[in-house]
């Protein structure tokens, strides 16, 4: 399998293990690799080091949060120019995150002040910066991930990305608390061309999330389904085990196990691996 959403130490939040520990768990479980994500640091160099040390396919990228000033094309150019494979739109500092009262960097260091970010149609002034980010993603054949943007922003971004020629688009856990998109909305997102992520974190930690709801989201995603762990929390299983649990639970809801395994293996690996 290939896990497209993994957190590891060092991080501003506690993690279950560092890069080497997490990579060891993937090696032991027979995974082909994973995507290393951090909300407040580029993971490009870390991913390269782990890949070199283990032989796994490990990819990194950058999330456009407060540490880079939000949607910052310069930060994107640096990350992609050094081998990054993915750009996440604002996550922990998205306006949706703040409205939901979920963690952000300013909560760890209040002297920084509170900043949050949005794109059109919520913040039309961000359009030019988003356009340049999309151009850079196209030039590097990288993955655009929607982060914690709202449903309206996801729809706008998908249309804009399509116009720009982006071919790798991942809607980041759209049924999570943020952005909180219902199965009908997820079905629309899948139709307009992006992959749809469901994470084990949702199953383990999301309030009011049920196996039945995740099964309906999976059905709405269809062939565009991607299953990942979003793991690395001290109170979660190791990421490989978390993905296996997610597959087992969804299979228990009557979904085809072979399809679910592909959504945690070939589908995400093809999405992230360079051509």
If you average pLDDT over residues 169-194, what whole number do you get?
96
Instruction: Return the pLDDT at 108.
Output: 75
**CA angle (23, 29, 31) in 5-degree steps:** 70
- From the list 41, 82, 81, the residue with the least C-alpha distance to 62 is 41
pLDDT bracket for residue 234 (50, 70, 90): very high
Instruction: Return the pLDDT at 236.
Output: 97
Q: Which 3 state secondary structure label does DSSP give 199?
A: strand
Integer Cα distance of 256 and 201 in angstroms: 21
pLDDT bracket for residue 207 (50, 70, 90): very high
pLDDT bracket for residue 18 (50, 70, 90): very high
pLDDT bracket for residue 102 (50, 70, 90): confident
pLDDT bracket for residue 62 (50, 70, 90): very high
The helix (H) or strand (E) run that includes residue 87 is strand 86-88
What tokens were used for 154? 């996801």
Instruction: Return the pLDDT at 131.
Output: 98
Instruction: Return the pLDDT at 109.
Output: 79
pLDDT bracket for residue 107 (50, 70, 90): confident
pTM recorded for the entire structure: 0.97
Per residue in 132-158, pLDDT (tens digit) is 999 999 999 999 999 999 999 999 999
Query: How many percent of the chain have pLDDT more than 70?
Result: 100
Report the chain's mean pLDDT, rounded to a whole number: 96
Would the pLDDT of 111 be above 90?
Answer: no
CATH architecture of the domain covering 2-272: Alpha-Beta Barrel (3.20)
Instruction: Return the pLDDT at 232.
Output: 98
Give the domain ranges of the chain: 2-272
The helix (H) or strand (E) run that includes residue 204 is helix 200-205
If you average pLDDT over residues 224-238, what whole number do you get?
98
Long-range pairs for 157-166: beta carbons < 8 A, 24 or more residues apart:
157/89, 157/119, 157/130, 158/189, 158/192, 158/193, 158/194, 159/192, 160/120, 160/130, 160/131, 160/134, 161/134, 161/137, 162/192, 162/193, 164/131, 164/134, 164/135, 164/138, 165/138, 166/134, 166/137, 166/138
If you average pLDDT over residues 42-50, what whole number do you get?
98
Per residue in 21-40, pLDDT (tens digit) is 999 999 999 999 999 999 99
Would the pLDDT of 105 be above 80?
Answer: no
Per residue in 73-100, pLDDT (tens digit) is 999 999 999 999 999 999 999 999 989 8
If you average pLDDT over residues 165-180, what whole number do you get?
97
pLDDT bracket for residue 169 (50, 70, 90): very high
DSSP 7-68: --BSSSS--SSBHHHHHHHHHHHT--EEEE--SSS--HHHHHHHHHHH--EEE-EEE-SGGG
If you average pLDDT over residues 181-193, what whole number do you get?
96
243 contact partners, CB below 8 Å, separation of at least 6: 1, 3, 200, 227, 228, 229, 231, 264
CB 202 within 8 A of CB 210: no
């Amino acid at each position: 399998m290939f896990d497209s959403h993994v957190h590891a130490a060092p991080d501003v939040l506690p993690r279950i293990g560092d890069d080497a520990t997490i990579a060891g768990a993937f090696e032991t479980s027979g995974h082909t690799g994973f995507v290393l994500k951090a909300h407040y640091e580029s993971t490009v160099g870390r991913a390269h080091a782990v890949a070199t040390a283990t032989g796994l396919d490990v990819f990194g990228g950058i999330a456009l949060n407060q540490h880079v000033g939000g949607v910052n094309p310069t930060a994107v150019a640096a990350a992609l120019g050094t081998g990054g494979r993915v750009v996440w739109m604002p996550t922990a500092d998205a306006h949706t995150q703040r409205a939901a009262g979920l963690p952000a960097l300013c909560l760890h260091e209040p002297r920084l002040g509170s900043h949050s970010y949005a794109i059109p149609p919520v913040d039309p002034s961000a359009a030019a910066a988003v356009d340049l980010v999309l151009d850079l993603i196209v030039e590097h054949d990288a993955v655009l991930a929607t982060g914690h943007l709202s449903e309206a922003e996801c729809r706008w971004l998908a249309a804009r990305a399509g116009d720009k020629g982006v071919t790798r688009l991942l809607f980041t856990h759209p049924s999570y608390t943020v952005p909180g998109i219902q199965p009908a909305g997820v079905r629309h997102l899948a139709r307009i061309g992006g992959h749809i992520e469901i994470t084990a974190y949702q199953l383990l930690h999301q309030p009011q999330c049920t196996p039945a709801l995740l099964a309906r989201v999976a059905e709405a995603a269809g062939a565009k389904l991607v299953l990942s762990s979003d793991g690395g929390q001290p109170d979660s299983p190791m990421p490989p085990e978390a993905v296996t649990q997610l597959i087992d639970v969804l299979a228990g809801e009557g979904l085809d196990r072979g399809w679910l395994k592909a959504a945690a293996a070939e589908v995400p690996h093809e999405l992230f691996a360079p051509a």
